[in-house]
Amino acid sequence: MKIVKTIKEVREIVKLWKKENLSVGLVPTMGYLHEGHASLIDASVSGNDKTVVSIFVNPMQFGANEDLDSYPRDLNHDSKLCEEHHVDLIFNPEPNEMYGKDFYTYVNMNVLTEDLCGITRPIHFKGVCTVVAKLFNIVQPDNAYFGQKDAQQLAIIKQMVQDLNMPLEVHGCPIVREIDGLAKSSRNTYLSTEERQSALILSKAITLGQSLVENGERDCSKVLTSMIDLISSEPLAKIDYVKIVDLKTIQPVNTIEKPILCAMAVYIGKTRLIDNFIFEEV
Ligand code: PAF
């Protein structure tokens, strides 16, 4: 496994692979890898001849008061995990490699970016689309892998690939959870012991909402009220949003008639956590 820091090096290596007709999978990450990332890597390794993992804490997707500086980083740990999971190449650029001083082009999307996390994080998805488009151009993968935990991000990236005719397939992989239900996230490391316990309210609310829908409830307000009441019973939890939206357009719906995404963002202390479920069998 190689670790490179420049776009030029990635291009040279991928060019050699393409000459041999080898397929390439890309797993874009911000590092501090956990079992959720490992599941994306495993999907890429089993579906492609070569796998590239990008590790880049993308400044463009963080708002002014967000956790860019404190975002956890550990390249030693990450490279060990990648090695164990048979990754071929890690791309770990510095910000000035990705964004030179004359950088003026952004990828912006309407509609899908406007609700859910787009309300509290208004510039976030512009940063995500821009960096992911750049990574696709640099690595030129046949397949790219993203977690369903960031369900809005996954829908947005699928839409970007469709709208801009990008020649690759985007794969969503299931949420990986701790044994007690908490969705794996690099940000879980911010939680104190007490907060870690309180954070279980997210997955409990997801389980509740999912069972109501699976048992036939189609009125979104009834599902959401039950979930919100449960989350509100946890003193350390402060709801950012709990919503049900169309899975493809990320627009709010009142009745479940098409595939939906039920998504939430909840502050546990200062840490903002997200979780969701999707329901497609309508
Ligand atoms: O999901 C993430 O870790 C990031 O948003 C991504 C896709 C790597 C872009 O920086």
Would 97 be classed as within a structural domain?
yes
- Percent residues over pLDDT 70 in the chain: 100
pLDDT tops 90 at residue 58: yes
- 19 and 141 together in one domain: yes
Ligand 1 centroid to 28 CA: how many Å? 6
Please tell me the residue having the least CA distance from ligand 1 atom 5: 128
Residue that terminates a domain, selected from 173, 194, 211: 173
Band of pLDDT at residue 42, cut at 50, 70 and 90: very high
CA of 61 to the centre of ligand 1 (A): 9
75 with 36, same domain? yes
pLDDT of residue 281: 85
Look over the chain and give the mean of its residue pLDDT values, rounded to a whole number.
98
CATH number, domain containing residue 17 = 3.40.50.620
Residue found by looking up tokens 């039950």 in the block: 226
Residue of the CA atom closest to atom 1 of ligand 1: 29
10 CB-side CA count, 13 A: 26
For the CA of 61, the nearest atom of ligand 1: 10
Q: Is residue 180 part of a domain?
A: no
Same domain, 34 and 101: yes
Q: Would you state the pLDDT for residue 282?
A: 79
The residues that are catalytic are: 37
Query: What's the mean pLDDT in 164-189?
Result: 98
Q: How far does the centroid of ligand 1 lie from the alpha carbon of residue 255, in Å?
A: 31
Determine the 3-state secondary structure of 7 from DSSP: helix
Q: What pLDDT does residue 187 have?
A: 96
Domain region containing 80: 2-173
User: Beta strands 237-246 and 260-268: pairing type?
Assistant: antiparallel
Overall number of domains in the chain: 2
Mean pLDDT of the 154-163 span: 98
Residue 237 lies in a domain: yes
Query: Distance between alpha carbon 256 and the CA centroid of its chain, in Å?
Result: 24
Cα–Cα distance for residue pair 269/236, rounded to 1 Å = 6
- Read off the CATH number of the domain in which 247 is found: 3.30.1300.10
Is-contact 44 27, C-beta < 8 A?
yes
At 105-152, the pLDDT tens digits run 999 999 999 999 999 999 999 999 999 999 999 999 999 999 999 999
Mean pLDDT value across residues 176-194: 98
Residues 145, 230, single domain; the answer is no
Per-residue confidence (pLDDT) for residue 147, from 0 to 100: 98
Q: What one-letter code names the amino acid at 53?
A: V
Q: Is residue 137 part of a domain?
A: yes
- Same domain, yes or no: 17 and 45: yes
- Domain shared by 135 and 219, yes or no: no
Q: Which of 242, 239, 43 is nearest to 147 (CA)?
A: 43
Mean pLDDT of 155-180: 98
Block residue for tokens 């390794």: 45
- 179 within a domain of the structure (yes/no): no
What are the pLDDT digits (tens) for 3-26? 999 999 999 999 999 999 999 999
282, part of any domain: no
Q: Using N-to-C axis directions, what is the helix angle for 124-139 and 151-163, rounded to 10°?
A: 60
146 and 202 assigned to the same domain? no
Q: Which of 173, 204, 222 is the last residue of a domain?
A: 173
Q: Whose CA is nearest to atom 2 of ligand 1?
A: 29
Confidence of residue 239 (pLDDT cuts 50, 70, 90): very high
Of 173, 195, 224, the last residue of a domain is 173
Instruction: Report which ligand 1 atom has the smallest distance to the Cα of 28.
Output: 8
Which residues have CB under 6 Å of ligand 1?
A: 28-30, 58, 61, 128, 131-132, 150, 153
Distance 153 CA to ligand 1 centre (A): 8
Other beta carbons within 10 angstroms of residue 209's beta carbon come to 25
pTM score, whole prediction: 0.97
- Residues 49, 125, single domain; the answer is yes
Q: Which atom of ligand 1 is nearest to the CA of 58?
A: 10
Q: Quick one: 166 and 226 in the same domain?
A: no
What is each CA distance from 24 to 16, 17, 219, in whole angstroms? 11, 8, 43
Task: Tell whether 47 is covered by a domain.
Answer: yes
